[in-house]
Amino acid sequence: MSDAHDRPSVVITGVGLVSARGIGRAGHQGPLVAAEPTELKLFDAATMPATVAYQVQKVRPQPYMLRRKDLKLMSRDARLAVQAAGLAIEDAGLDPKDGQQWPDKPENVGLFMGVGLEPGDIVELGLVMADSSKDDHVDLQRLGSEGIGLIPPLSSLKTLPNMALAHVSINFGLMGPGEALSPWGASTLQALAAAVESIERGECVMALVGGADSDVDLGGISTHLRTGLAARVTDAGGVSDGLEGVVMGEGAGFFVLESARSAAQRGARVWGTVAGCATAFAHSPEVIGFDAQGAAELVGPLVSGAEAPVKVVSAAGHHQVWRVAEAKALEPLGVQVVRPSEAMGHCVAASGILDLAAAMVSDEGQGPVSLIGLGWGSSGEWAAARIDVSGAEG
């Protein structure tokens, strides 16, 4: 790799957001005020200890799709991804349906995404399980002989983790470097680092980077409850500062990245500059899913080089135990911590860039300010990225 002084500066020229808080830049402006989740709609959660979550009200990828009939092939994650990616491209002053006006050929435009687990359709799977059950237990022999034939042949295309990336690539004609990462909450910030490196190496002039995740389905809620990470919240209980778990959500966030030279040549508006990225593996966490010491060690070097006031954008949200550990670890660094997930929920694989983008667009991102996105995975991955917002363009 070339010397740091020879590498092109990488800037953000487009921001796309889809969350329970709203759609696009307009839906996320203003203060990041803690909000209440809504009753789960994707399945009957009446008997579960978590009956509410942060859910997107208008998932509409159709304006950005080449063929609307392909909607039946898309999981909810993929639909969120296409919608947010289209919004980011429009925000960059480009036409999502006309790649000819972009600063480079489609094969030189990269796509880097953080992806989560793609759940199976509960209606489709429910029919299979019901047919294969006997005495309240699944009969594996019957499942293999009869139930397998009831699974729609296209179901597998919805559950592959990289299918969300495929749908974004296909609908926007992106044929450059691509990568899908799935280390839980660190994935989108790791994807951001990969995209920046790709532009620095000259592999592409522009890249779309982001992620999407929907963990408000039966599988997602159950998994996080079983691991002790999800808060037990009902429609009657509301959300309070005393919760010892995360309140689940869904959403998607994307950036359009390009070299500063490319942005200047096409007269693009610059929303921020990527000032640094860092990844690491955590120490043994004292709190499940959270390593405070690892957070401080990862964020520290990014803080030291900042000239503007620093705000750490964290996904800790409503998880009180995480918040306490995080505040204690980051206090010596003299930074302010903001938590967009209090207004959008914990969106798992989408959280890093989605939370960072929400902070950029909100009052928290009014420059000059340096925003450090912080994400982590339960198996020990850490990722951070610093965005410098000058205030002149943003």
Which tens digits make up the pLDDT trace of 60-71?
999 999 998 999
Residue 337 has pLDDT above 50, yes or no: yes
**Parallel/antiparallel/unpaired status of strands 250-259 and 10-19:** antiparallel
Compute and round to an integer the Cα radius of gyration of the chain: 21
**Averaged pLDDT for residues 265-279:** 94
DSSP state letter for 319: -
Tell me, what's the pLDDT at 2? 40
The gap between the terminal CA atoms of the chain, to the nearest Å, is 31
User: Six-digit token pair at 19?
Assistant: 């969350």
Q: Where do we find the tokens 């939370």? A: 355
DSSP class of residue 78? H
Look at the chain and count its residues. 394
Determine the pLDDT at residue 288.
67
Rounded CA-CA distance 162/226 in Å is 25
Residue at token pair 């009957």: 44
Instruction: Please tell me the distance from the alpha carbon of residue 204 to that of residue 198, in angstroms, as a whole number.
Output: 6
* Residue 339: per-residue pLDDT: 94
Give me the pLDDT at residue 136, please: 67
Q: What is the mean pLDDT of residues 169-187?
A: 90
pLDDT for the residue numbered 256: 98
Answer whether 0.85 is exceeded by the pTM.
Answer: yes
Q: Kindly indicate the confidence band of residue 1, based on its pLDDT and cuts at 50, 70 and 90.
A: very low
Q: Give me the DSSP letters along 154-193.
A: THHHHH-TTHHHHHHHHHHT--S-EEEE-SGGGHHHHHHH
More confident residue, 68 or 387: 387
pLDDT above 80: residue 154: no
Q: What pLDDT does residue 3 have?
A: 46
Of 40-49, 144-153, 202-211, give the range with the top mean pLDDT.
Answer: 202-211
Residue 393 has pLDDT above 50, yes or no: no
How is residue 6 annotated by DSSP?
G
What is the band of 16 on the pLDDT scale with cuts at 50, 70, 90? Answer: very high
Least confident of 43-52, 234-243, 332-341: 234-243
Mean pLDDT over each residue of the chain, to the nearest integer:
86
Question: Rounded to whole angstroms, how far apart are CA atoms 346 and 250?
Answer: 7
- For residues 270 and 11, the answer to whether their CB atoms sit within 8 Å is yes
Q: Identify the pLDDT of residue 33.
A: 86
DSSP 290: B
Residue 26 has pLDDT above 90, yes or no: yes
Pairing of strands 369-376, 381-389: antiparallel
What residue ranges define each of the domains in the chain, with the CATH number in brackets? 4-120+156-265 (3.40.47.10), 122-155 (no CATH), 272-389 (3.40.47.10)
Among 24-38, 53-67, 147-161, top mean pLDDT goes to: 53-67
Higher confidence at residue 361 or residue 390?
361
Q: 209, 178 in Cβ contact below 8 A? A: no
**Whether pLDDT at 394 is above 50:** no
Around Cβ 274, how many Cβ atoms within 10 Å? 22
From 68-82, 98-112, 350-364, the region with the lowest mean pLDDT: 98-112
Q: Is the peptide bond before 309 cis (omega within 30 degrees of 0)?
A: no
What sign results for the dihedral spanned by CA atoms 60, 61, 65, 67? negative
Distances (CA, A) of 386 to 5, 258, 303, 317: 18, 16, 8, 19
